Amino acid sequence: MTSPDLTRIAWNDAGLAPVIVQQHDTRDVLMLAWMDAEALQRTLTGGRAVYWSRSRQEYWRKGDTSGNTQRVVSVALDCDADTILLQVDQQGPACHTGTSTCFDGRELGFAPVQEEV
């Protein structure tokens, strides 16, 4: 098996790429995180999601503290190769607040604008 070509990824100026994390079977968006090349390599070789913490400046593997693990099912790039889509099998809540996703109950109250015909 050949290693993926990580040079294809358009890392930002900090050497990071955003990662959209999605439950593989329901397609629910679970969270947004960040990876650098090392975090992605650890994820690809270990089979569990590893991210880069911008606030703590360290790697963290999802579930090592909480027990709420993410087993990686697939990894893809978007059309610009600057965003990673990680499809996972989430065990337990994805959010550190204990909710199933990091997007539960935080709607901005947007009301669609009616287009004039």
Q: Is the pLDDT of residue 32 over 60?
A: yes
Residue 108 included in any domain: no
Into how many domains does the chain fold? 1
For the chain, the C-alpha Rg in angstroms (whole number) is 16
**83 occurs within a structural domain:** yes
- Domain-located, residue 96: no
| Predicted local distance difference test score (pLDDT) of residue 2 | 54
Spatial CA neighbour of 19 closest among 69, 98, 67, 87: 87
Decide: pTM greater than 0.85.
yes
- Which CATH number does the domain housing residue 42 bear? 3.10.20.810
Q: 67's torsion region: left (phi>0), alpha (psi -120 to 50) or beta?
A: left
Q: Which domain holds residue 57?
A: 6-90
Using the predicted structure, report yes or no on whether residue 1 has a pLDDT greater than 60.
no
- Residue 44 included in any domain: yes
* Domain assignment present for 113: no
Q: Does the pLDDT value for residue 9 go beyond 60? A: yes
Q: What percent of the chain has pLDDT over 90?
A: 80
- Reduce the DSSP state of residue 45 to 3 states and report it: helix
95 domain residue, yes or no: no
Compute the distance between CA of residue 47 and CA of residue 9 in angstroms, rounded to an integer: 19
Q: What is the pLDDT of residues 71-107, one digit of tens each?
A: 999 999 999 999 999 999 999 999 999 999 999 877 7
